[in-house]
Structure 1
Amino acid sequence: MSIKAANIVWHKYKVKKEDRYRINGHKSCVLWITGLSGSGKSTLAVEVEKELYKCKVHSYVLDGDNIRHGLNKDLGFSAEDRQENIRRIGEVSKLLVDAGLLVISAFISPFREDRLKVRELFKTGEFIEIYVKCGLEVCEKRDPKGLYEKARQGIIKDFTGISSPYEVPITPELVVDTEELKIEECVDQVINYLMNNGYINSKGQSTVINIG
C-alpha cells in the first residue's frame, strides 16, 4: 500500500521561471522524443544537445536507460511500471523546465495516454512531442543492444513492438524519419523547428523571449 503525503502546502518562490528566461536569454521547454527501441532517440537527443550547446542554449538530456540506473531503478516494464516511469520523468522534466532549461527527454513512452498526461503538466508551447519514425523491421536489424533478439526468444517480457504495443503519436509537433534521413538531417530538422518557433534565432544564438 502506498503512503501519500499529507499536510503539505506549496511553497512559493521569489525567483520565477520568467526571471530565468531573462538570465538564460531563451525560453525553456521539453523536447519529448518518442519512438521504438533502436529508432535513434538517444542518438538524436545527444546530437541535438550538442548543437544547442553551440547555440549557447542551456539544455539537458534525460535518457530512458540512464534514468533507470538511478531514479527509476525500482521499476520494471509492466504496463503499470511503464506508466509510473513516464509519470516521474514528466515531473522531473517539469522541474527542469521551471529551472529555465531546454529539456530533451528520450523515452520510448509507448502509450498515448501517458504522453498526454505529461503534456498536460506544461503550458502551451512548453511541450514539443517529437516522433522518431522508424519501422520495426529496421529497428530490429539495428538492434544495438541485442534487445529484440532476446524479446523474440522470450527472455525479455513486455517488450515494446514485440510483446507490448507502441501507440504512434497522432498529432506530434514534429516527425523525424531516422529510417530515411541521416542523423545530421534529423538534427537540422529539430534545430530548424526551434528556430522557426522562436526558441533560438537563425544566427545560432539564443534569443531573448519577450515575457510581456
Structure 2
Amino acid sequence: MPMEMVVVEWCGDKVPEVSNVGKVSKVAEVPAKPLQAEPKPVQKTEHTTSPETEMAEMDSIQTEETTEDRKPTTTEETVVRPPSSVGEVQPIDEKAVKTHWNAWIKMIEADSPTMVFILKMATLKEIVGNTIAMSVEYTFHRDKLMNPETKRKLEIAFGQLLGSAIAIDVEVEKSTQGGSDSEQNAANNELTDLTAAFGGQVV
C-alpha cells in the first residue's frame, strides 16, 4: 500500500464527524413584560399661613361686604310740586274762578294783608286759557300785584284752589262809571283803615 494512502486513511479515522456544523440552535422567545410606570409618592405640603396674613384676608372680606351693603339703592320718590310749576296747562272755567275768588283772598290775607286790600279793589276782567286777567284803577296797584314774587304767590294759591296751573295778568283800567255813594264810602273807609295801620294818612 502506498504511503500516501496510509496517511489519508489514518487521518480519516481521527477526524471527528461534525454533524451539527452549520446548524443554529433556536433560541426560546421570552415574552416581553409591559413596562409600567411606577407611581411616585406625592409629597404633601402643608400650607401654613401666618396669623398676620389670616387677619389681613379677614379684613379684606369684611371690607368687601361692607362696600356691598353701602351701595345706594334706587328708590322711586314722589315729588310734590305746586300746580303752577307742573302739570299740563288746561283752560280754567270762569265760574270756578268766581266761586273761589273770596277763598283765594283769604289765603292771601294770612301772608300779606296789603295785598288783600288791592285784590278787593281789583276786578275780574276775563279769562283766556289758563290766564286770569284782572284790572285795577291805579298803576302802583298793578305794580304791586305784578311783582315777580307776589305774582308767583298769587298764582300758586289760586292754582291750589282750582287744581290747575294758572297765570295772572293785571291791567290798569280807569273806572268810567261812578259807583254809588255807599260803595265809594266803603272803599274810602278801607283805604283809610289800611293807611292808618301803616302810620300814614289819606291825602
Structure label with greater radius of gyration: 2
Q: Same fold (TM over 0.5)?
A: no
TM-score norm. by structure 1 comes to: 0.25
TM-score norm. by structure 2 comes to: 0.25
Q: Quick check: which one's helix share is greater?
A: 2
* Greater relative CO (CA pairs within 8 A, separation 6+): 1
